Amino acid sequence: MPDDNRVATREAEWSRWMAAAQDGDRAAYERLLREILPFLRGLAGRYHRTADQREDVVQDILLTLHRVRHTYDPARPFSHWLATLASRRSIDALRRRGRTERVEVFDELAYETFSDPAANREMSARDEAPGLHSAIATLPEGQRQALELLKLRELSLAEASQLSGKSVSALKVNMHRALKALRARLKGD
């Protein structure tokens, strides 16, 4: 069977390279690590769906292989040694992820969402600051406009000046007064 032959040749080659690597042959080691990458990616892919998780595990396997490379016995099949090590590390990564996901929530749109509901309430209470909107509403027209343009719409001074027809220095003064007034009012609440 040609297929069996190919597997046997590959096995012998890997085993020889690993033995050479143990003796300090860096070129053989690098060739071996590159050669086994598809095998490792395939194996890690069985446990991990997304590409970056899989790649993380592959790197972890490579580091482990490096650390325990003295335990390989060239008289025994290399792929078995490698596969045991790789599945062990893949499963370890699964467990680690399980532990992380129990306490952390990932949500791109709401990155400050915590899995503990009480923490969310505390954070949103700080964000919403119910008094803030009514405090802004009571500001004099000039100050309110400066705040709106510069802070809420995040325009530059030049843009805000163009839009409102006021000078840059007038905007600066109004902005400064608006913040001072808001600070005083919110502290008083």
Partner 1 sequence: MPLSTDLLIARLAASAAPVRRLRPPLLRAAFWLAGVAAVAAVVVPLYGDFALFDRRMQDAKFVIELAGTLLTGIAAVIAAFQLSVPDRSPAWAWLPVPPLILWLAASGYNCWRDWIAVGDHGWRLGESAACFATIVGFSIPLGATLLFFLARAKPLAPMPVAALGGLGVAGLAAFFLDFNHPIDASFLDLGWHVAAVGLVIGCTALAGRWRDAANAQAGRPSER
Size of the site for partner 1 (CB under 8 A): 33
The correct pick among 14, 15, 17, 21 for binding partner 1 (CB under 8 A) is 21
Query: Per CB under 8 A, does 59 bind partner 1?
Result: yes
Query: Per CB under 8 A, does 67 bind partner 1?
Result: yes
Q: Which of residues 78-97 bind partner 1 (CB under 8 A)?
A: 80-81, 84-85, 88-89
Q: How far apart are CA 105 and CA 28, in angstroms?
A: 43
Output the six-digit token pair for 82: 């490698």
Which residue, 31 or 177, has its beta carbon nearer to partner 1?
Answer: 31
For 109, 117, 120, 169, the CA distances from 113, given in Å and listed in that order, are: 9, 9, 6, 40
Q: Which residues 6+ apart lie within 8 Å of 93 measured at CB?
A: 47, 48, 53, 56, 57, 60
Alpha helices by DSSP H, listed for the chain, are 2-22, 26-47, 51-67, 78-103, 117-128, 131-137, 141-147, 157-164, 168-188
The correct pick among 68, 105, 184, 186 for binding partner 1 (CB under 8 A) is 68
Which residue, 21 or 150, has its beta carbon nearer to partner 1?
Answer: 21
Output the six-digit token pair for 171: 């905007």
Where does this chain touch partner 1 (CB under 8 A) — which range of 72-80, 116-124, 135-143, 181-189? 72-80
The correct pick among 22, 53, 113, 164 for binding partner 1 (CB under 8 A) is 22
Cβ–Cβ < 8 Å for 29, 17: yes
Cβ–Cβ < 8 Å for 85, 68: yes
Which residue, 85 or 170, has its beta carbon nearer to partner 1?
Answer: 85
Query: Per CB under 8 A, does 11 bind partner 1?
Result: no
Q: Which of residues 23-42 bind partner 1 (CB under 8 A)?
A: 23-24, 26-27, 29-30, 33-34, 37
Q: Which residues bind partner 1 (CB under 8 A)?
A: 21-24, 26-27, 29-30, 33-34, 37, 55, 58-59, 62-64, 66-74, 76, 80-81, 84-85, 88-89
